Amino acid sequence: MVYPRTKLISFVWIISLMALLVMFMSFLANGNELVTLPQIEYNDNDLISAIIERKAERQYATEPVALKDLALVLWAGSGIKSPQVDSVSHATRTIPSAMGIYPIDVYVFALQVENLPSNIYLYLPEKHALQEIPSVNVTEALTKITNQRAVQNASMVFLIVFHRDKSSRMNDKFAYFEAGEVVQNISLMAVDRGLGSYVIGMYYQEKIIEVLNEENIEPVVLMAVGKPSQ
Mean predicted lDDT score pLDDT of the chain = 82
Question: pLDDT (tens digit, 9 = 90+) per residue, 192-203?
Answer: 999 999 998 888
Query: Is pTM, for the whole model, over 0.85?
Result: no
Torsions phi, psi for 94 (to 5 deg): -75, -10
Which domains, and CATH codes, for the chain?
Answer: 56-226 (3.40.109.10)
Q: What is the dihedral of CA 115, 120, 123, 124, to 10 degrees?
A: -100
Dihedral sign, Cα of residue 84, residue 89, residue 95, residue 97:
positive
The reported pLDDT for the residue numbered 26 is 63
Least confident of 22-31, 111-120, 143-152: 22-31
